[in-house]
Amino acid sequence: MLRKNTISTILAIVLVSLTTLPLPSTSFNLLQFPKQPRNIAASLPLVSSPTSLQASPINSSEGSSNKPNAKVDRRKKPQFRRKRNYQPPPAPPPPPDYFSKKPLSDFSTSKKWSAICKAAGITYPTKIQAIAWPSLLGDGTAPCVIGEQTGGGKTLAYLVPPLLNIEGKVEDNGVAKPSILVLAPTSELVNQVASVSKSLTGKGAGFWRTSVVSASGKDEKDGTVREQARELSKKGADVLVGTPGRVSQLLNAKPFCLSLENLKTIVLDEVDVLISDDTFGEQLNRIGVKVGEDARFVFVSATLPTTVIDLIEKEFGGRKVTKFLGPGLHRAPAAVKEYLVDVSVGDNRDPKMGFDKKADALMEALRRQKCERTLVFCNTVETCRKVENHLKRKDRKGDIYEVGAYHGAMNGASRTAALKKFSKKSHQTDQVLICTDRAARGVDFEGEKVDHVVVFDFPKDPAEYVRRVGRTGRAGRDGIVSVFAYGWQLPIARGVIGEKDGSKSTVDVFIDDDDDDDFKASKSGGGRKRINYIDEGKLWGDKE
C-alpha cells in the first residue's frame, strides 16, 4: 500500500509540473489548422545560416547511458510496388507519329481481314505495316525486305497478309504441308512469332494450325526431332515456325513428316543473323532447295547493313528485291531517354577495378531509377554471373529487388522460367534480369513494358546496341536506358546518344555524387540520330 501511494504521489507531482511549463511560441494549435491540407514546405523558413533548422544535440546527462535508448535504423525500408488488388495505371498511348493515318479499310474490306486485325488489336497500322501491306496483300511473288526498329510492328507486318490466303485445313495424310514458314535464329523468337499466330486464329478470322519446331521445347522430350516429327504428322501445320536447324532435320526425317510443296510464303526473321552465320547458311540451303518457285521470300530485321541487302540481291540473281524500310530503322526509339555514365578508372587497367566501378554504377542506377522491370546487358556469360552474384550479395533477402539471369549457358527450361517470372503482369518487388544479347533479339516479354535497360558492357557491334536499347520503348512507349562507357567508348557513345539535329550529349558522372538527386539526362526525346555504322556493316572504331 505504501509503495502504491508513493508512486501516485510522484505521478501527481510530474503532471502538475508539466501543466505549469510555458508552451513554446512556435507550437501549432491543432484547432487552427485549415481543413484542406496546405503546402507545409512552402511555409518553412529558408536555410540562410548554419543555425537555422538545426537539430538539438543529445544531452549525455539525460538517461543512464550516453547512447539513445532506442536504436534507430536509418536505412530506407523497401517499398513494395504492388499492394493487394492494386491495378497499375494504363500505359500512355504511343506518340501520334508511331501509327500511320491510313484506316484499315484502305488495305482490305473483307470480313476476315477485319477479324484478324481486331484479334491483333490493330486500329491503325504502324508505319512499317502501312508501307509493307499493300505489296504483301497482292498476288505477286517478288522477294522483299522489311526493316524497322524493334517494337515497330514487323511481325504483324509480314504475318497478317499471308494469313488471309489460308482457306482451311489441307488434307495432309500424315505429312504437314504448311502455307507459311517462318525461320528465326533462336527458340525465343520462334516461340514469340508462334504465339502471335496462335492469338489471331478463330473469332471470325478463320482457323489455322500453328506448329513450333526448335531444339528447345518445354522439356527435353518436347525438344527431340522424333517427338516433333510425331506431332507434325499427327496435327499438321498451316503455319510452321522454327529454327533453320530443326526444320532442315524434319525435312529429312523418316518417316516423312514435312513437305514444302504447298508453301506460299517463307519468312526469314532476323535475316542479318541467319545469312551471316555459316552454320545457318548451310541449313538454309538445305531448306531452299525444297521451296517451290512460286513461294514468296520475305526478309525481316531491325538491322539491315547494305552488305546483307547485297547478299540477298545476289542470291536472287539480279532479280528485283523490294525494300520496305521504316522511319525508325537503325535508330533508338524516340520516346526513350538515354543516360550516359562514365565508368573510366583512369590509367589503371585492373579488370577487377573496372568491374567494381561498373558495379557501383549499376547499384546507383537501380537506386535512382526505381523501375518495375530492368534488363542488364552484358557481353559474356561470365560477366552475367558476376553481376548476378554481386546484386544478390547486396540484397540477400530479395526485399529490394529480385534478380534473375538469362543467357546461353542456361538450359531452355531455366531460361523460359526466368523470362516468365520477369514478364509477369505485376510484381511486389522490382525485377532485374541479367542477360546477354540472347534477350536482345525477338523477346517481347509477353507484351509487358520493360522500364529500364542498363548497357553494363558496351557492345562491340553497333547493331547490338540498337537491339539492346530497343528492348524498352517498344510500340511507342517510353523507357530509360543507362549506358556505361569508358575510354575510347565515350566519344562513340556521345555520338550515338543525340537528337536528329546532330546535338551531342554530355557525359553524366554521378557515382560519387549522392547529394544530387536530379540524375541529369542526356539529350533525349524526339527523333534519334541514325547510326550509319550499321548501314555500312561496320564495327565501332571503323571509319564511317
Q: What is the pLDDT of residues 502-536, one digit of tens each?
A: 333 323 333 322 233 333 333 333 344 556 656 65
Please state, rounded to an integer, the average pLDDT across all residues of the chain: 76
264 with 351, same domain? no
321 with 350, same domain? no
Helix (H, G, I), strand (E, B) or coil at 193: helix
299 with 368, same domain? no
**Amino acid 4: pLDDT:** 54
Contacts of 56 (CB under 8 A, 6+ apart): none
| Exposure string over 463-500, b if 16+ CB within 10 A, otherwise e | bbbbbbbbbbbbbbbbbbbbbbbbeebbebbbbbbbbe
Sign of CA dihedral 402, 406, 409, 411: positive
Helix (H, G, I), strand (E, B) or coil at 403: strand
Burial of 388 (0-12, 13-18, 19+ CB in 10 A): buried
207 with 104, same domain? yes
DSSP at 126:
B
| Dist. CA 19–CA 94, nearest whole Å | 64
Check if the beta carbon of residue 248 is closer than 8 Å to that of residue 286.
yes
User: Is 157 within a domain?
Assistant: yes
Question: What band does 159 get if pLDDT is binned at 50, 70 and 90?
Answer: very high
Question: What band does 493 get if pLDDT is binned at 50, 70 and 90?
Answer: confident
For residue 376, pLDDT over 90 is answered with yes
For the chain, what is the domain count? 2
| pTM score | 0.71
Check if the beta carbon of residue 508 is closer than 8 Å to that of residue 481.
no
For residue 209, pLDDT over 80 is answered with yes
320 with 347, same domain? no
The single-letter code of the amino acid at 117 is: C
Last residue of a domain, one of 325, 360, 377: 325
For residue 406, pLDDT over 70 is answered with yes
**Amino acid 116: pLDDT:** 92
User: What is the average pLDDT across 388-406?
Assistant: 89
153 with 269, same domain? yes
Contacts of 131 (CB under 8 A, 6+ apart): 324, 325, 326
For residue 80, pLDDT over 60 is answered with no
250 with 340, same domain? no
**Amino acid 375: pLDDT:** 95
429-472 residue pLDDT tens: 899 999 998 887 767 787 788 999 999 999 888 888 888 988 88
**Amino acid 215: pLDDT:** 73
356 with 293, same domain? no
515 with 369, same domain? yes
| Dist. CA 166–CA 298, nearest whole Å | 17
Cβ neighbours around 290 below 10 Å, total: 17
**Amino acid 530: pLDDT:** 56
Last residue of a domain, one of 325, 347, 368: 325
292 with 418, same domain? no
For residue 31, pLDDT over 60 is answered with no
Give ∠ CA 469-472-476 in degrees, rounded to 5: 115
CATH of the domain at 441: 3.40.50.300
User: Is 7 within a domain?
Assistant: no
| Dist. CA 500–CA 75, nearest whole Å | 43
For residue 16, pLDDT over 80 is answered with no
User: Is 28 within a domain?
Assistant: no
For residue 227, pLDDT over 50 is answered with yes
Contacts of 362 (CB under 8 A, 6+ apart): 376, 387, 390, 391, 454, 456, 484
**Amino acid 204: pLDDT:** 65
Last residue of a domain, one of 325, 351, 371: 325
293-331 residue pLDDT tens: 899 999 999 888 888 999 999 888 878 899 999 888 888
* Of 251, 231, 239, 234, the residue nearest 178 (C-alpha): 239
504 with 376, same domain? yes
**Amino acid 413: pLDDT:** 86
354 with 463, same domain? yes
User: What is the average pLDDT across 151-157?
Assistant: 92
Check if the beta carbon of residue 284 is closer than 8 Å to that of residue 320.
no
**Amino acid 7: pLDDT:** 60
Most confident by average pLDDT, 207-211, 387-391, 536-540: 387-391
Which range marks the domain in which residue 140 is found?
96-325
Helix (H, G, I), strand (E, B) or coil at 223: coil
User: What is the average pLDDT across 136-154?
Assistant: 91
**Amino acid 177: pLDDT:** 93
User: Is 426 within a domain?
Assistant: yes
For residue 200, pLDDT over 70 is answered with yes
pLDDT-wise least confident of 75-84, 129-138, 216-225, 384-393: 75-84
| Dist. CA 532–CA 538, nearest whole Å | 9
Q: What are phi and psi of 273, to 5 degrees?
A: -75, -45
H or E, element range at 342: strand 336-342
Question: What band does 404 get if pLDDT is binned at 50, 70 and 90?
Answer: very high
User: Is 60 within a domain?
Assistant: no
**Amino acid 271: pLDDT:** 94
269-302 residue pLDDT tens: 999 989 888 888 889 999 999 999 899 999 999 8
User: Is 39 within a domain?
Assistant: no
Task: Write the DSSP string, 484-543.
Answer: EE-TTHHHHHHHHSBBTT-PBP--B--TT-TT--S----S-SSSB---HHHHTT--TTS-
User: Is 463 within a domain?
Assistant: yes
Question: What band does 239 get if pLDDT is binned at 50, 70 and 90?
Answer: very high
Instruction: At 358, list the grid cell.
Output: 561498373
**Amino acid 122: pLDDT:** 92
User: Is 211 within a domain?
Assistant: yes
Q: What are phi and psi of 267, to 5 degrees?
A: -110, 130
